[in-house]
Chain A
Amino acid sequence: MAKRIEVSDLNIYYGNFRAVEGVNVSIEPRSITALIGPSGCGKSTFLRSINRMHEVIPGARVEGKVVMDGVDLYGADADPVDVRRQIGMVFQRPNPFPTMSIYDNVAAGMRLNNKRMKKADLDDLVERSLKGANLWNEVKDRLDRPGSGLSGGQQQRLCIARAIAVEPDVLLMDEPCSALDPISTLAIEDLMTQLKERFTIVIVTHNMQQAARVSESTGFFNLNGVGQPGRLIEFNPTEKIFSNPEQKATEDYISGRFG
């Protein structure tokens, strides 16, 4: 189920502005890959280009190749909607659908895509997804209540449940814990560790301890100056990045000398 992603010579643009250039990376299946770097260096932009969410923004485009198990996601015959069905995403701010109950939020991936399912199967899927997101015990008695009534951490886990309910191969997480308290953060980190058995996870984070705690590999993005494109400076196993980085810039960043 989990799949490998090969990125080669990826340039990402907003209109004429080149935001990220020359990314070459191979993301391993069944592992957590963390992307770190200062603000504005293109981590999130890169993340969003993996499931073609980048092009939702007017004027945004991508050059290069993103290949998932031999299929070019930007190939002429690739449909962005299909790509997003295989590569789920969790956003920085929890964004449950306000018009839907907790149950409907989790079932949204199925309902919105008009997949016909038996009620029992759907119940089963919702329960499985909520258990997968460690939320079942907290909400099982109020599945018909609106999702926006949950706390921030619960909402974020609801969004994770919603994302894994469509059974993607890859899960992208864009700073999923930045709006959460340490306890909710811990809950989500534990969850990620469980989820990597089934999914390939890519997480953008500003929290270097978090990257060190949860990830197998880490990529460091940086940019030379304002208005310059961001680049992937170093991509290595997390242990190596945090103990013996190859690049001086990486060492400066993780030791807190800049950024």
Chain B
Amino acid sequence: MSTQTTPTPSDTSVAAPEPRGRKGRLPGWAPAATFLAAAVVCLLFEAFTDFNLALAVVYTVVLGTIAVYLLSRSVEGPRQAVDRLVTCLVGSAFAIAMVPLVALVWTVVGRGVTRLDGEFFGSSLVGIVGEGGGAYHAIMGTLIITLLTTLISVPIGLLTAIYLVEYGRGRLKRSITFFVDVMTGIPSIVAGLFAFALFALFFGPGIRLGIMGAVALSVLMIPVVVRSAEEVLKLVPNELREASYALGVPKWRTIVKVVIPTSIAGLGTGVTLAIARVVGETAPLLITLGITNGTNLNPFDSRMATLPVYAFYQLTQPGVPPQFAIDRAWTAALLLIILVMGLNVVARLISRFFAPKTGR
């Protein structure tokens, strides 16, 4: 009795072993402080040898990661230490992935912004040899060609996806799926050559038309639309189709009024991303459209300029002095990036605003 009422401290610790998580915890600022210390060490080291900032950063990351791991292992135990190690690795991987993106945006914005002015949007290259000039003809060309491509690709792609999901059976469905997959992998230059050869059959060699570019881009865009639309349509629960059939609604009307409205957000997003995918294509347009200095808004008549091809020619055949044309090329590149980014934003907005409301 007396032994039970007066247990020694060692007794209690045996009866209730310390929980494993009760080991020490590093304070929240510890990893940051460790990396800071590592940075200081590495900068000092680099300062005494040949100074190289990139190497210093690499050394800092390696040294800091190792230091955090060892510190955590000694204070917090092996499991927490592994957690911190992996956190460091994931962070580093993210940083490495961001480097090219940030560098690219930085360079393009920095160089492109010099000619981002009214003249660039307002005028073409007619009669321009040196300074000034713009990309009005190329901007309009890109918009027209992209619009035409969308008009060709979206109906074909959507209908194909509807066939595959709602009607397709057996061998035909499998072969269509297979060939769509093959088309996804077609190099863009091949698509351009295809359109070139196709139109050369009818109009003779050397033909350049806006519609040729749209056909070439459609070859690239259709499989993307089919794929994304197919995935989205598959997500529509079968119960909704059955609910509609059970009301005596024919199949085609079920597809038009139930399946497509339910998946409209995903379809819109998919189409927008597919447009973003083809809007920057250069190689097929290089072959099929060529380039021109003047404004041509008719895709069924002779050459048209587009932003990617415009940037290509301004950079490769700048004229004398070259700097003005190179500036225009960077601005065209910046415009393309803005265009693609805008399309991605539009895709996000579509998926947000058209998603079925839950009402809660």
Residues in chain A within 8 A of chain B (CB atoms) = 51, 53, 56, 58, 81-82, 84-86, 88-89, 91, 93, 95-99, 108-109, 111-114, 145-149, 159, 162-163, 166
Known A-B contacts A97-B262, A99-B356, A148-B356; the reply to A112 vs B247 at CB < 8 A is yes
- The reply to whether A95 and B240 form a contact with Cβ atoms under 8 Å apart is yes
Other CB < 8 Å A-B pairs besides A113-B253, A166-B247, 10 of them?
A: A53-B242, A56-B245, A85-B247, A95-B239, A97-B243, A99-B258, A99-B356, A112-B254, A112-B258, A149-B360
Mind listing 29 A-B residue pairs with CB under 8 Å? A51-B246, A53-B245, A56-B242, A81-B249, A81-B250, A85-B248, A89-B246, A91-B243, A91-B246, A95-B237, A95-B239, A95-B240, A96-B243, A97-B244, A98-B262, A98-B357, A99-B258, A108-B247, A111-B257, A112-B244, A112-B247, A113-B249, A146-B356, A146-B357, A148-B357, A148-B358, A149-B358, A149-B359, A163-B247
Docked complex Cα distance between A3 and B248 (Å):
17
- The reply to whether B242 and A81 form a contact with Cβ atoms under 8 Å apart is no
Known A-B contacts A98-B356, A99-B356, A113-B253; the reply to A84 vs B239 at CB < 8 A is no
CB-CB < 8 A to B261: which residues of A?
99
Pick the contact of B359 from A53, A82, A148 — CB < 8 Å? Answer: A148
Mark B170-184 against chain A: 1 for CB-CB distance below 8 A, else 0: 000000000000000
Q: Which residue of A lies closest to B260 (CB)?
A: A99
Pick the contact of A81 from B239, B240, B248, B356 — CB < 8 Å? Answer: B248
Min CB distance, A166 to chain B, in Å?
Answer: 6
Max chain B C-beta neighbours (<10 A), residue from A81, A98, A109, A145: A98
Docked complex Cα distance between A114 and B252 (Å):
13
Pick the contact of B169 from A53, A58, A113, A145 — CB < 8 Å? Answer: A58
Docked complex Cα distance between A98 and B356 (Å):
6
CB-CB < 8 A to B244: which residues of A?
97, 108, 112
Docked complex Cα distance between A133 and B253 (Å):
26
Docked complex Cα distance between A97 and B360 (Å):
15
Known A-B contacts A58-B169, A93-B239, A149-B359; the reply to A84 vs B246 at CB < 8 A is yes
Mark B319-360 against chain A: 1 for CB-CB distance below 8 A, else 0: 000000000000000000000000000000000000011111
- The reply to whether B246 and A53 form a contact with Cβ atoms under 8 Å apart is yes
Inter-chain residue pair count (beta carbon < 8 A): 87
CB-CB < 8 A to A84: which residues of B?
245-248
Docked complex Cα distance between A108 and B258 (Å):
10
Mark B223-250 against chain A: 1 for CB-CB distance below 8 A, else 0: 0000000000000010111111111111
CB-CB < 8 A to A149: which residues of B?
357-360
Known A-B contacts A95-B242, A98-B262; the reply to A82 vs B248 at CB < 8 A is yes
Docked complex Cα distance between A23 and B264 (Å):
43
CB-CB < 8 A to A108: which residues of B?
244, 247
- The reply to whether B262 and A99 form a contact with Cβ atoms under 8 Å apart is yes
Pick the contact of A145 from B241, B243, B359 — CB < 8 Å? Answer: B359
Docked complex Cα distance between A89 and B357 (Å):
25
- The reply to whether A166 and B248 form a contact with Cβ atoms under 8 Å apart is yes
Max chain A C-beta neighbours (<10 A), residue from B237, B241, B357: B357
Docked complex Cα distance between A89 and B239 (Å):
12
Min CB distance, A209 to chain B, in Å?
Answer: 27
CB-CB < 8 A to B359: which residues of A?
145-149
Q: Which residue of A lies closest to B250 (CB)?
A: A81
Min CB distance, B135 to chain A, in Å?
Answer: 42
- The reply to whether A91 and B242 form a contact with Cβ atoms under 8 Å apart is yes
CB-CB < 8 A to A146: which residues of B?
356-359
Pick the contact of B240 from A56, A97, A114 — CB < 8 Å? Answer: A97
Min CB distance, A30 to chain B, in Å?
Answer: 21
Q: Which residue of B lies closest to A110 (CB)?
A: B247
Max chain B C-beta neighbours (<10 A), residue from A95, A108, A145, A147: A95
Q: State the 9 A-B residue pairs at the shortest beta-carbon distance, nearest first.
A: A149-B359, A85-B248, A146-B359, A98-B356, A89-B246, A95-B239, A109-B247, A84-B248, A112-B249
CB-CB < 8 A to A112: which residues of B?
244, 247, 249, 253-254, 257-258
Q: Which residue of B lies closest to A93 (CB)?
A: B239
Docked complex Cα distance between A149 and B359 (Å):
5
Pick the contact of A91 from B239, B258, B358 — CB < 8 Å? Answer: B239
Q: Which residue of A lies closest to B238 (CB)?
A: A56
